[in-house]
């Protein structure tokens, strides 16, 4: 992949309780996610969310099950 092509891509979603979720592809080409429980004033520590064996990703997306 071209280095940094995805650095502007961020997916954001909210749940019924008002929690916010953000997902992005970091410079390590892996998907990361963080959440906020106070309308975005503070955020959790980012966590890498790819399953084992994945070594590169693109186009972050958040799906919510209904």
Does 65 map to a domain? no
Tokens 């959790």 locate to 44
5-60 tens-digit pLDDT: 555 678 999 999 999 999 998 888 899 999 999 999 999 999 999 999 999 887 77
For residue 62, the SS3 value is coil
Does 35 map to a domain? yes
Tell me the residue range of the domain where 46 lies: 1-59
Burial of 35 (0-12, 13-18, 19+ CB in 10 A): middle
Does 49 map to a domain? yes
The tokens describing 25, both together, are 């592809």
Count how many domains the chain has.
Answer: 1
User: pTM of the predicted model, to two decimals?
Assistant: 0.79
Q: Give the pLDDT of residue 57.
A: 85
């Amino acid at each position: 992949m071209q280095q940094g092509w995805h650095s502007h891509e961020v997916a954001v979603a909210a749940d019924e309780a008002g929690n916010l979720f953000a997902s992005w592809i970091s410079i390590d080409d892996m998907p990361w996610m963080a959440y906020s429980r106070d309308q975005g004033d503070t955020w959790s520590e980012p966590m890498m969310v790819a399953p084992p064996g994945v070594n590169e990703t693109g186009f972050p997306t958040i799906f919510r099950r209904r």
